[in-house]
Amino acid sequence: MLNRRLLLAASAAAPLAPALAQTPPGVIVMAKQIDDIITLDPGECFEFTGSEICGNVYQKLVTTPNSNPSQLVGELAESWEAGAGGKTFTFRLKQGAKFSSGNPVTAEDAAWSLQRAVILNKSPAFIINQFGFTKDNVAQRIRATDPRTLVMETAEQTSLPFLLYCLSAVVGSVVEKAAALPKAQGDDLGNAWLKQNSAGSGPFMLRAWRASDSVTLEANPNATDKPATRRIIMRHTADPSAQLLGLQRGDADIARNLSDDIIKQVIAEGKFGVHKQRKAALLYLALNQKNPNLARPEVKQAIKLAIDYEGIARNITPNTWAVHQAFLPEGLPGALTEKPFSRKIDEARKLMADAGLADGFEMSFDYASTWPVSDIAQAVQANLADLKIRLRMQPGESRAVITKVRARQHDMSVSRWGSDYLDPHSNAETFSINIDNADDARNRTTAWRSSWLIPELSARVMEALRESDPEKRAQMYIDIQREHQRTSPFVIMLQEIEVWTSRPGVTGIDTGPMNDRNRWKSLAKA
Amino acid sequence: MKALAASAASIPITLFGLVLVTFFIGRVMPIDPVIAIVGDRAPQDVVEQTRAALGLDQPLYVQFVTYVGQLLRGDLGRSVMTSNTVGQDILTFFPATFELATTAIVLAALIGIPLGVLAAVKQGSLVDQAVRVFSLIGHSLPIFVLALLSLLVFYARLGIAPGPGRQGIVYQDMVDIRTGVLTLDAALAGDWGAFWDAVAHLAQPACVLAFFSLAYIARMTRAFMLNELRSEYVITARAKGLSSTRIIWRHAFGNVAVPMVTILALTYAGLLEGAVLTETIFAWPGLGQYLTVSLLNADMNAVLGATLVVGLIYVALNLLADTLYRLLDPRVR
């Protein structure tokens, strides 16, 4: 049967056409799926591509270098300090930072940007709001006391690293008030205008965004650190094969969404550069504790021991997902890299027998019908069949699966989770907090969705959240993850790997675990 | 005239039926539209606030009445995916599809009709067999294979066609968008470099779509022509010594043109609906791609709006075909 793979094989076998074309000098073209962009307003943006763009157009008070993602460094702030009681925080801004308009970045701009994120209350606002800011108190609690000093007062005692990691998220970006506010429509604080325009101090500024077509960015002439490339163009190329062709023909310098089989072929040919980065995203099985069989500790453990993690990663996703078994992905502070589970089928069968389920049982299995999840689901089905667990396969559109899991109507599901911000609490909260297991509970974390009631573990997570000593805090998360591995109804299997494939001569690829840390400042081509 | 008025009168009923069916299918999908808006991470109170703000906590019939009320005011709602009004989105995406589909149907008609006529006139000959095989390939090969093969051969191997997208990098964002039809906008701006670049980018996807459509057009033209060429009036014309050209193009094709109007109108409507796979492979930001991405994101305002536009196109082209039918065929006047 003629398929895409065969076509690519034919492509690789045939001699290349005349001379390869080149993108213009000083311009980097990325072939990428960009139809996830909803907005480019940093106060609202929460999608993969949009976050990456905002991360290169705006600056935050603090950030983390990709060489050491746990280290907090000042981006616009030169220093910060916590007041006595851990509720007041003072930031001193660097001198010399300028917006693309040429105006200096002031504490007033920073305070207004954080205030507008709280007032707009869009999807990422909870990252800031969790410190007790509301639209009624934020003007009082986040304020500029002089052009270079910003003061922030949290509602409760707050761990400084936690606050800083949250401020390093895209929602903490600093927007030029004088550029955005005059463009406000009604009370939108410039939200509609910033969807398609920029007012930042990052290395690039937005020139145009055409939905499902392209994004064009120009170098910010007033940036503190001048970028190595004058223009970056992202072109929407949905099909991975078309991305590869673009790379081969020289119409693209970097391809961002090649599929695993194509990456394998590219690596084998050795013509293009392949850059890999572990992302803060996990693929895991969730076992609903409402199912009495899945609530048995032996069954949870048996399932964890029946999965062939290495086999799945090696055979299905050798380049795009790697084995990882704790709720903090590698690259995040406090991540646990131990892999206590491997396929031990005899041990798993014994556990099933101990639970009185030697003959197995039947349950439903919900999963997204897209690659690679569909292939992984089939592997899991085969693995669990060895325990006589019969899975009723229920493939669906990913949002349909999410809807079902949020309603706790699943037995077992496979889901993807990406961290919202770099602090360990982002994942710890969702995987390890559930103190109200009622159907109408207010806080519906991932633990709640699996009906896993854990008041004690939840208390430990909150204790870690309040800890100010970074080393002690990291150790607390390590301990929580070990406990989580032992007892939780989550079989964390894989961590996502982002792959950039580039033409020879492309240099300066600098990527991080979060999308906004994919930095283009040094991107250049010979 | 009376029949035409009756056809026109049925349009609102057709469109109402379309809105009704699409609305209820959208609402019974196993996807929570609120999740599409606020995301999977949003706190429950934000989810409930959004549900109430959108009226999604109301009974279905109330939601439908509200939606129809908005429609009657010309408000198609706002797209979750792009944050624009659906009307704005359709104005952005539809011109790309219009440009592609119109070029494709013109090419398909210009090549497919003469091929069909030729095959009928030379029935059983090598030419006829070649046209039949050509049509069979065009109609039976999946369009994504055609598109990928075309990219592979003309773009990757021979290097005589540009890659996916509507513009080359050099002309990216250089043309002021007035109509959304890029070739026309470039011509209006007098930027002939951008014009020829846009034409070059249009050629390949348009040819792929045209190949797919012309196969059908050629087969139908051949079938209609064969029917006409066997008619008694053609035998009479031949007996009277009229030239073959006159018999074929004036007499036989004149009658074939009538049913061909319907074939062309429906094929064109199908292309305007959005050739999803072709648009995806050639990174062509058209209505088909918009509709598909909207559906996958449970963006129901966008799906309903785009479906309504597609429905309107079908209805309008059907009406046009009916009108032309009456003009061309005196028997149905």
Asked if B149 is an interface residue toward chain A (Cβ–Cβ < 8 A), one would say yes
Contacts for B66 with CB less than 8 Å, ≥ 6 apart: B55, B58
Q: State the pTM of this model.
A: 0.83
Tokens 């005692």, residue? A157
* B23 band by pLDDT with thresholds 50, 70 and 90: confident
Higher pLDDT: B203 or B141? It is B203
Q: Which amino acid is at A422?
A: L
Closest CA to A103 of A175, A36, A153: A175
Residue A91, both tokens: 């930031």
Cβ neighbours of B161 (radius 10 Å): 17
Find, in chain B, the residue whose alpha carbon is nearest to that of A30.
Answer: B169
* Cα–Cα distance for residue pair A276/B184, rounded to 1 Å: 43
Distance from CA of B182 to the nearest CA of A (A): 13
In this prediction, residue A519 carries a pLDDT of 97
Cβ distance of B169 and A24 shorter than 8 Å: yes
* Cα–Cα distance for residue pair B36/B59, rounded to 1 Å: 20
- List chain A residues with CB under 8 Å of B282: 242
Cβ distance of A212 and B289 shorter than 8 Å: yes
- List chain A residues with CB under 8 Å of B157: 11, 14-17
- List chain B residues with CB under 8 Å of A404: 30
Q: Flag the least confident range among A164-178, B21-35, B194-208.
A: B21-35
Cβ distance of A403 and B32 shorter than 8 Å: yes
Cβ neighbours of B153 (radius 10 Å): 16
Contact A522/A294 with Cβ under 8 angstroms?
no
Tell me the residue ranges of DSSP E strands in A419-455.
Answer: none
How far is CA A379 from its chain centroid? 25
Mean pLDDT of chain B: 86
**Cα-only R_g, chain A:** 24
Consecutive H or E run containing A492: strand A490-502
Contacts for B59 with CB less than 8 Å, ≥ 6 apart: none
Higher pLDDT: B42 or A4? It is B42
Tell me the residue ranges of DSSP E strands in chain B.
Answer: none
Contacts for B12 with CB less than 8 Å, ≥ 6 apart: none
Selection from A99-103, B227-231, B280-284 with the highest mean pLDDT: A99-103
Whether the bond between A18 and the residue before it is cis, its omega within 30 degrees of 0, is: no
- List chain A residues with CB under 8 Å of B173: 207-208, 214, 216
Contact A231/A27 with Cβ under 8 angstroms?
yes
B residues 251-280 closer than 8 Å to A (CB) = 280
Mind listing the pLDDT tens digit for each residue in B71-80? Answer: 889 898 888 7
Cβ distance of B172 and A444 shorter than 8 Å: no
Closest CA to A32 of A168, A212, A178: A212
* Cα–Cα distance for residue pair B179/B184, rounded to 1 Å: 7
Find, in chain A, the residue whose alpha carbon is nearest to that of B176.
Answer: A208
B residues 26-55 closer than 8 Å to A (CB) = 29-32, 35-36, 38-46
Mean pLDDT of B197-201: 94
Contacts for A18 with CB less than 8 Å, ≥ 6 apart: B159
In this prediction, residue B3 carries a pLDDT of 67
Asked if B155 is an interface residue toward chain A (Cβ–Cβ < 8 A), one would say yes
ipTM score for this prediction? 0.72
Total number of residues shown for chain A: 526
Helices B2-28/B60-72 angle, 10° precision? 130
Beta strand A361-368 with A412-418 is: parallel
The size of the A-B interface in CB pairs under 8 A is: 147
Contact A364/A411 with Cβ under 8 angstroms?
yes
Contact A328/A338 with Cβ under 8 angstroms?
no
Q: What is the DSSP string of A102-115?
A: SPBP-HHHHHHHHH
Asked if B82 is an interface residue toward chain A (Cβ–Cβ < 8 A), one would say yes
Find, in chain B, the residue whose alpha carbon is nearest to that of A15.
Answer: B157
Q: Flag the least confident range among A417-426, B96-105, B224-233, B290-299.
A: B290-299
* Cα–Cα distance for residue pair B178/B321, rounded to 1 Å: 29
Beta strand A142-146 with A254-255 is: unpaired
Which candidate in B25, B80, B83, B204 is best for mutational testing of the A interface (most A CBs within 10 A)?
A: B83
Residue B158 has its nearest CB partner, among A17, A39, A126, at A17
Which candidate in B41, B85, B278, B303 is best for mutational testing of the A interface (most A CBs within 10 A)?
A: B41
The number of CA neighbours under 13 Å toward the Cβ of B303 is: 19
Task: Spell out the per-residue pLDDT of chain A, length 526, in tens.
Answer: 344 444 444 444 343 433 345 788 899 999 999 988 888 999 999 888 999 999 999 999 999 999 999 899 999 999 999 998 899 999 999 999 999 999 999 999 999 999 999 999 888 998 999 999 999 999 999 999 999 999 999 999 999 999 999 999 999 999 999 999 999 999 999 999 999 899 999 999 999 998 878 999 999 999 998 999 999 999 988 888 889 989 998 989 999 999 999 999 999 999 999 999 999 999 999 999 999 999 999 999 999 999 999 999 999 999 999 999 999 999 998 999 999 999 999 999 999 999 999 999 999 999 998 889 999 999 999 999 999 999 999 998 887 888 899 899 999 999 999 999 999 999 999 999 999 999 988 888 999 999 999 999 999 999 999 888 888 999 999 999 999 999 999 999 999 999 999 999 999 999 999 999 999 999 999 8
* Cα–Cα distance for residue pair A154/A130, rounded to 1 Å: 9
Closest CA to A499 of A267, A245, A214: A267
B residues 96-135 closer than 8 Å to A (CB) = none
Distance from CA of A395 to the nearest CA of B (A): 12
CB burial string B201-217: b at 16+ within 10 A, e below: bbbbbbbbbbbbbbbbb
Contact A130/A122 with Cβ under 8 angstroms?
no
DSSP code for B158:
S
Contact A107/A99 with Cβ under 8 angstroms?
no
CB burial string A488-519: b at 16+ within 10 A, e below: bbbbbbbbbbbbbbbbeebebbbbbbbbbbbb
Contact B273/B266 with Cβ under 8 angstroms?
no
Residue A233 has its nearest CB partner, among B145, B156, B169, at B169
- List chain A residues with CB under 8 Å of B35: 399, 402-403, 406
Cβ distance of B92 and A441 shorter than 8 Å: no
How far is CA A447 from its chain centroid? 19
Closest CA to A287 of A519, A8, A488, A2: A488
* Cα–Cα distance for residue pair B304/A461, rounded to 1 Å: 44
Distance from CA of B216 to the nearest CA of A (A): 23
Higher pLDDT: B290 or A149? It is A149
Find, in chain B, the residue whose alpha carbon is nearest to that of A20.
Answer: B159
Does pLDDT of B129 surpass 70? yes
Residue A232, both tokens: 């970056």
Find, in chain A, the residue whose alpha carbon is nearest to that of B159.
Answer: A17
Distance from CA of B121 to the nearest CA of A (A): 35
Q: Flag the least confident range among A427-441, A455-469, B41-55, B109-123.
A: B41-55
- List chain A residues with CB under 8 Å of B148: 4, 7, 241
CB burial string B73-109: b at 16+ within 10 A, e below: eeebbbbbbbbbbbbebbebbbbbbbbbbebbbebbb
Find, in chain B, the residue whose alpha carbon is nearest to that of A397.
Answer: B296
Mind listing the pLDDT tens digit for each residue in B130-178? Answer: 988 888 888 788 888 889 899 889 988 888 999 888 888 778 777 888 8
Which candidate in A22, A34, A212 is best for mutational testing of the B interface (most B CBs within 10 A)?
A: A212
